[in-house]
């Protein structure tokens, strides 16, 4: 049995984490869930969006499956997601986007794995008002050699381990010459150590256009925090939307698995949320903890439901079903097949 901290999260969090834990149990995952609360739910219950007990549990058990957490826009507390990534130095945010059978999308044959630097850039939260009237604000972006080396090396190592051909580094070094210029320089240095992997760099604005025009040309993509946040949502959009893309946040000692999407307040409590994104995140978690056999079974069941039980799927991917019908369909395939 593997202990895993479970944070169901806000909005659709309870619905999708209940679905995922049910599917993983049906598939025979050997997991002892240790449930706790963070985000808006914890703020409303305890006055603190990131209670000490959550940090202590993660420090003790090292692996987390996390539902989405709401962050107030413009005012209020700062992102708990960002705080957790910094606290546990989860420097690599890995976000695969792969075309799926029968999921509506104008694109085919997409298989991109995005590596987003997860602890620095503009997300360090060093913002300040420059004058009293709040008419002038500043935000500081930080890029260091250590953090850049960590994420870029993680991308090349992943490429090598998974037999991938190319790493594309995305930057804005023509304008942000120091920060993303340093990131690009380190990328070139590390690329020299991996002559078996093709390397290219591309400016972010061109990248945005290329991902819409010719996304199939990308394989592994590595970039800084803000660019990676935006491009990984774009990549989700290429393969059917935020309901189908999972993510891993990996550091040297800790790992946290979560969907790319947020708490989706517009559909919370309506049994409409697609749990596939969190489910795919949980498969990355199963692979990380050595339960690849269970991950394979669940992936098979999901692909089978997408291909042959479309009516049971949620509406965001063209089905007629609910979170519940989809969950039951995946469980039924698992029970019938294995």
Active site residues: 123, 172, 205, 229
Shortest distance, position 31 Cβ to ligand NAD, whole Å: 21
Shortest distance, position 192 Cβ to ligand NAD, whole Å: 34
Residue with smaller CB distance to ligand NAD, 187 or 243: 243
3-state secondary structure of 128: strand
Residue 201 sits in the site that holds ligand NAD (CB under 6 A): no
Residue with smaller CB distance to ligand NAD, 80 or 190: 80
Residue 71 sits in the site that holds ligand NAD (CB under 6 A): yes
**Among residues 264, 294, 312, 330, the one that binds ligand NAD under rule CB under 6 A:** 264
Q: Between residue 232 and residue 261, which ones bind ligand NAD under the rule CB under 6 A?
A: 242-243, 258, 261
Residue with smaller CB distance to ligand NAD, 15 or 304: 15
What is the Cα–Cα distance from 70 to 21, expressed in whole angstroms? 21
- Of 165, 284, 280, 151, the closest CA to residue 219 belongs to 165
Shortest distance, position 94 Cβ to ligand NAD, whole Å: 14
**Among residues 262, 280, 281, 309, the one that binds ligand NAD under rule CB under 6 A:** 262
Quickly count helices (H) and strands (E) in the chain: 11, 12
Tokens 């690849």 map to which residue?
A: 292
Torsion of the alpha carbons at 181, 182, 183 and 185, rounded to the nearest 10: 90
Residue 17 sits in the site that holds ligand NAD (CB under 6 A): no
**Among residues 4, 38, 69, 302, the one that binds ligand NAD under rule CB under 6 A:** 69
Residue with smaller CB distance to ligand NAD, 124 or 182: 124
Per-residue x/- marks for ligand NAD, 293-322, CB under 6 A?
-----------------------x------
Residue 184 sits in the site that holds ligand NAD (CB under 6 A): no
**Among residues 36, 274, 281, 282, the one that binds ligand NAD under rule CB under 6 A:** 274
Interface with ligand NAD by CB under 6 A: which range of 55-63, 167-175, 249-257, 271-279?
271-279
Joined together, the tokens standing for residue 175 give: 């304008």
Interface with ligand NAD by CB under 6 A: which range of 45-53, 65-73, 187-195, 290-298?
65-73
Q: Distances from the Cα of 157 to the Cαs of 75, 89, 195, 222, in angstroms?
A: 39, 18, 12, 12
List alpha helices for the chain, DSSP H: 13-27, 39-46, 52-61, 80-87, 145-161, 179-192, 204-213, 225-238, 276-288, 292-308, 323-337
Joined together, the tokens standing for residue 235 give: 């990549």
What is the Cα–Cα distance from 130 to 133, expressed in whole angstroms? 9
Residue 36 sits in the site that holds ligand NAD (CB under 6 A): no
What is the Cα–Cα distance from 283 to 289, expressed in whole angstroms? 10
**Among residues 54, 239, 250, 267, the one that binds ligand NAD under rule CB under 6 A:** 267
Joined together, the tokens standing for residue 272 give: 């409409």
Q: Distances from the Cα of 295 to the Cαs of 210, 250, 283, 300, 334, in angstroms?
A: 32, 18, 5, 9, 11
Which residues here bind ligand NAD, judged by CB under 6 A?
A: 12, 68-71, 81, 242-243, 258, 261-267, 273-274, 277, 316
């Amino acid at each position: 049995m593997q202990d895993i901290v479970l944070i169901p999260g806000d909005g659709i969090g309870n619905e999708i984490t209940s679905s995922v834990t049910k599917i993983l149990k049906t598939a025979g995952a050997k997991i002892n869930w240790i449930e706790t609360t963070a985000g808006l739910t914890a703020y409303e219950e305890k006055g603190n969006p990131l209670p000490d007990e959550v940090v202590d549990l993660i420090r003790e058990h090292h692996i987390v499956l996390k539902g989405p957490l709401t962050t107030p826009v413009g005012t209020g507390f700062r992102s708990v997601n960002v705080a957790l990534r910094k606290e546990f130095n989860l420097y690599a945010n890995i976000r695969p986007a792969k075309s799926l059978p029968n999921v509506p999308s104008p694109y085919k044959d997409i298989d991109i794995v995005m590596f987003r630097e997860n602890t620095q850039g503009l997300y360090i939260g060093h913002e300040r008002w420059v004058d009293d009237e709040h008419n002038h604000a500043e935000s500081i972006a930080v890029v260091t050699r250590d953090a850049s080396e960590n994420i870029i090396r993680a991308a090349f190592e992943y490429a090598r381990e998974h037999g991938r051909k190319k790493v594309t580094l995305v930057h804005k070094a023509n304008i942000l010459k120091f920060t993303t210029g340093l990131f690009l320089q380190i990328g070139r240095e590390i690329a020299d150590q991996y002559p078996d992997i093709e390397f290219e760099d591309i400016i972010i604005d061109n990248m945005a256009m290329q991902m819409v025009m010719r996304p199939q040309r990308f394989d592994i993509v590595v970039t800084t925090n803000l660019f990676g946040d935006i491009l990984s949502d774009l990549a989700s959009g290429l393969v059917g939307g935020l309901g189908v893309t999972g993510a891993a946040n990996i550091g040297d000692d800790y790992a946290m698995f979560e969907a790319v999407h947020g708490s989706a307040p517009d559909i919370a409590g309506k049994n409409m949320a697609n749990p596939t994104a969190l489910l795919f995140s949980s498969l990355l978690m199963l692979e990380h903890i050595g339960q690849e056999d269970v991950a394979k079974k669940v992936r098979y069941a999901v692909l089978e439901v997408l291909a042959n039980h479309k009516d049971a799927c949620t509406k965001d991917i063209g089905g007629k079903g609910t979170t519940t019908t989809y969950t039951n369909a995946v469980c039924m395939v698992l029970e019938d097949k294995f």
